[in-house]
Amino acid sequence: MYNKINISPQKQKLLIYIILTIVTLAVFLQVNQYDFVFDDIIYVTENSHIKSGITLEGLGWAFSTAYADLWHPLVWLSFMFDYQLYGLNPGGYHFTNLVLHILSTLLLFWFFNRMTGMIWRSAFVAAIFALHPLHVESVAWIAERKDVLSAFFWMLTLCIYVYYTEKPVIKRYLLVLFSFVLALMSKPMVITLPLIMILLDYWPLKRFGSKNIESNLTEIVSGKGPLWPLWEKIPFLILSISLVVITLYTPNNSNNPDITQFPLSSRLANAPVSFVTYLEKTFWPHDMAVFYPFSDQLFILQVFGATLLIIVISAAVIIMARRLPYLFVGWLWYAITIAPVLGIIQISLTTPYSMADRYHYLPSIGIAVMLAWGIPSLIKNKNVHIKILFPVTIAFFTILSVFAWQQCHYWKNGTTLFSQALRVTKINPVMHNNLGLTLFNEGKTDEAIYHYNEAIRIKTNYVDAYYNRGIANFQLVRYQLAIEDFNQAIRLNHSFAKAYNNRGAAYFNLGQNSRAVEDFNEAISLKADYADAYNNRALVCFIQGNHELACHDAKKACASGNCRTLKVAKFKGFCR
């Protein structure tokens, strides 16, 4: 972009690597001081497989499980590795995410520069990827390790692919395929990568053969015809389709009443609106939240307007494809990569969302390409590039960095994160429930109950909110109110073992031991290794004088990881 800068190309590239690294660190390094939040509990802090570190059993689990609704074994392995290094210190996990984000940024710059020879335009693309505020979620959220890990292997795959296209030999091809497999094992969203490689074959790699008919015939006979770039993607497409089948086959908990399957018509309406909203937030990153609730009552004009805009832009870039191929490739990069996450296929049924900031992570590269090559093409005067475009670009990235730095602040802990989400979204029971749970853990029980009440007011069948409010009432020694909340949770979900156990504890505190034992029995029948329920039943049995059954339960609890009651019983001489 800036050919008159009096620095050799090699030094320019080195300077860009250094600047990208330093600025990204300056913006994101603060996250190393932040806590575990939201789904980090599921992924790390309460995941016994992760807390066992790297073991043979853990390796087998990582490759066989669809825990947390997705098959992504490398994510689990990376968390196990982090646990070996950092234990449960969240700063270490945050640092790993940040390192992967920086490496992806540098690889992105490398392969675009390698393909095009355009140093500063490639740097522009990498900088948007590194510093856009919408990407804070992917970096600052430990549970989104799948984003930064899959992006790293996405970039690595494309780097090796560019290397392969320079000399198409089988060894390089197999390296590309292997790297792609690693990407697939990090997050299903990378299934679109083969299509992106085909786009890059069109521009800037220009691999679709010669215009000379005789040359094309020779290439076809030799197995390197004009359509060879399509044929060589077949193994990649087969792998992508296989992962789609695995992802869709993953069963959901059909017994959970919090599951909401929106009609296909609502999901089809949401798709174009979300598509355009991502575009809007690309240029004006505002009102960002960790959770955007799904709305099945969109205005018809909103849906029609978004659809029309998509059609008009798509038609324009197709018409200009020969003259301005970078606009065509950039737009299709964005459209193809974001299509699987527009909610037409509803993956999350318990927390249905209309969109998510993290889904902007890879698609944003397409828009960045359109800007990086499109804006300079409008300005032919090279002096303008240096005197105006360059300082404007610096100012743009300064503003972007400040916004991203500010967005990082919201990820400090659950209170700031969920409070921000409630400020910028409407009708969001999930965030009320999560904020309530965070406030409860901070000892602010009355404030927590207020947010549970709000969650239940908005969503009257919200099982988790009833259960959490029951725990809060139990904490305040309001045992009868707690029982009523647990009754509601059990009515809505007959298989809710924790609700039975805690209702039993409330009955015990009211002196209703028989009803307490009934609930502990039910909790254990639903969850055979439920240590807390065994401990609670053991305690009642000790009080009733049934030491034999009490010792049996205490030992079962200890075998499941909670030896509290057994230690007391041994100390008092009830159990050997």
**Type of residue numbered 196:** I
CA 443/CA 436 separation, integer angstroms: 11
- Residue 108: both structure tokens together: 């992105």
Comparing 215 with 510, the larger pLDDT belongs to 510
- Is residue 395 located within the same domain as residue 470? no
What per-residue confidence (pLDDT) applies to 182? 98
Boundary (domain end) residue, out of 385, 409, 433: 409
Residue 421: give its domain's CATH number.
Answer: 1.25.40.10
CA 457/CA 455 separation, integer angstroms: 6
Residues spanned by the domain of 467: 415-571
- Is residue 470 located within the same domain as residue 401? no
Predicted confidence (pLDDT) per residue in 401-422, tens digit: 999 999 999 999 999 999 999 9
- Is residue 438 located within the same domain as residue 500? yes
Is the full-model pTM beyond 0.85?
Answer: yes
| Residue 294 φ/ψ region, left for φ over 0, alpha for ψ in the -120 to 50 degree band, beta for the rest | beta
- Is residue 420 located within the same domain as residue 358? no
What per-residue confidence (pLDDT) applies to 351? 65
Least confident of 69-78, 262-271, 394-403, 541-550: 541-550
Least confident of 87-91, 140-144, 537-541: 537-541
CA distances for 281 relative to 276, 278, 374, 378, angstroms: 9, 5, 19, 24
Burial 272-292 (b: 16+ CB within 10 A, else e): bbbbbbbbebbeebeebbbbb
Q: Length of the chain in residues, anyone?
A: 576
CA 82/CA 93 separation, integer angstroms: 6
Radius of gyration of the chain (CA): 28
Predicted confidence (pLDDT) per residue in 195-214, tens digit: 999 999 999 999 986 444 34
How many domains in the chain?
2
CA 148/CA 159 separation, integer angstroms: 16
Predicted confidence (pLDDT) per residue in 55-107, tens digit: 999 999 999 998 888 899 999 999 999 999 999 999 999 999 999 999 999 99
Boundary (domain end) residue, out of 359, 376, 409: 409
Burial 554-572 (b: 16+ CB within 10 A, else e): bbbbbebebbebbebbeee
What per-residue confidence (pLDDT) applies to 227? 75
Predicted confidence (pLDDT) per residue in 159-197, tens digit: 999 999 999 999 999 999 999 999 999 999 999 999 999
- Is residue 201 located within the same domain as residue 344? yes
3-state SS record for 32-77: HHCCCCCCHHHHHHCCCCHHHCCCHHHHHHHHHCCHHHCCCHHHHH
